[in-house]
Amino acid sequence: MADPTRPPRRRGMSARGKLTLSYAAVVVVTGIGLLVAVAFYLLRYVPDVQFSTESGLFVPNRSDLIRAFIPAAAAAMLVLLALGLAGGWIIAGRMLAPLDRIGRAAQLAAQGSLSHRVALEGPRDEFRDLADVFDSMLEQLEAHIAEQQRFAANASHELRTPLAISQTLLEVARNDPDRDVDALIDRLHEVNARAIELTEALLMLSRADRRAFTKQPVDVSLLTEESAETLLPLAERRGVSIDVGGSEAVVLGSSALLQQLITNLVHNAIVHNRPEGGTVVVRTHSRPEAVALVVENTGSVLPTDRVAVLAEPFQRGSERTRGDDHAGVGLGLAIAQRIALAHDGSLVLTARQGGGLNVTVWLPHPHPRPPGGV
């Protein structure tokens, strides 16, 4: 969209016109140079004197040759100029055709159509690389906008639910003065707490997306122990055991965000587990090239297509039941994934054999070493 504060730019010569003139100029200058070279190297051997022969034949001297050469050279220059302009126009058009396709795709993208692709054919060159990068950008932008739209719709739906419940409870209380006030307050408190939890989760997700943090050395193994200790009472109430172990694993990142990532993963593993006798295993591993955090929990068998979408916002591994104060708002794994991405890492979900989920977070090693290196 044009900036209204800037004056409109004057339309100049097109790139095709500039290239055409450039090609024609090169052809004409080359032709002039060739003719000048011929004139200097050949005519210098012809003396500028009058020749006479016994038979009376005319023998041209240097001046005669120059007078005859100039009109022919001028005609040749005109032909070269015409060929240079025509050939340059055709060649420039063929050379700039990929840019025209990229420009049309950019105009469509500016108008909101992100599904169009340049799809440039032919072997790899600078234009093909540019078109491929542009197509990749459009693809990522389209996926990002679709994700944001889906997220906004889900967030609006999730936030609307507690607000609608609160409004209903207040209307019932106003129409029924004899209603139990304590029960109403408890219910409103529960609904309000759920809305606050969702809002804080959305803010955490936004913070992870912006990467608004300072990186510093963080030992992930210590954070796992802290998270397990914090969530141990919840695990004991649900009959779930937590097993934490592994090696020291230092990464560069935000201690608060990484703590949130681990807490979300362990919390998710506890909540979506067997009702009794479930287990959660947390391990940290330091590889030469990366640091791995593995959180594994028992539970129900998860189909592959279900596992593939668990990291999307507002997706839950199991249905939340009423009165479950720890089921979350469906953003735990989504926040964990965004935090991992914000630290240039990745989050991998796989179904555990026998039921449950295996979550592996890969984070870059602060000092990567080649495998087998010292």
pTM of the model: 0.54
Burial (CB count within 10 angstroms: exposed 0-12, middle 13-18, buried 19+), residue 305: exposed
The Cβ of residue 355 has, within 10 Å, a number of other Cβ atoms equal to 15
Which of these ranges, 107-116, 151-160, 215-224, has the smallest mean pLDDT?
Answer: 151-160
Please report the domains of the chain, with CATH numbers, ordered by start residue: 15-113 (no CATH), 213-374 (3.30.565.10)
In Å, how far from its chain's centre is CA 284? 29
- Residue 370: pLDDT over 60: no
* Phi then psi dihedrals of residue 278, to 5 deg: -80, 165
pLDDT tens for 153-186 read: 666 766 676 777 777 777 877 777 776 777 777 7
Q: Quick one: CA dihedral 206, 210, 211, 213, positive or negative?
A: negative
Instruction: Let me know: does 349 contact 261? Beta carbons within 8 Å.
Output: no
Residue 362 above 70 pLDDT?
yes
Per-residue model confidence (pLDDT) at position 5: 60
Q: Name the band, by pLDDT with cuts 50, 70 and 90, for residue 320.
A: very low
Length of the chain equals 374
pLDDT at 291 over 90: yes
Q: How many Cβ atoms from other residues are within 10 Å of residue 258's Cβ? A: 27
Three-state DSSP string of 135-181 = HHHHHHHHHHHHHHHHHHHHHHHHHHHHHHHHHHHHHHHHHCCCCCH
Q: For 48-67, what is the HEC assignment?
A: CCCCCCCCCCCCCCHHHHHH
314 SS3 class: coil
Yes or no: say if 131 and 118 are a contact pair by the CB < 8 Å rule: yes
Cβ density class 205-221: b for 16+ within 10 Å, e for less: bebbeeeebeeeebbbb
Per the CB < 8 A criterion, the answer to whether 246 and 211 are in contact is no
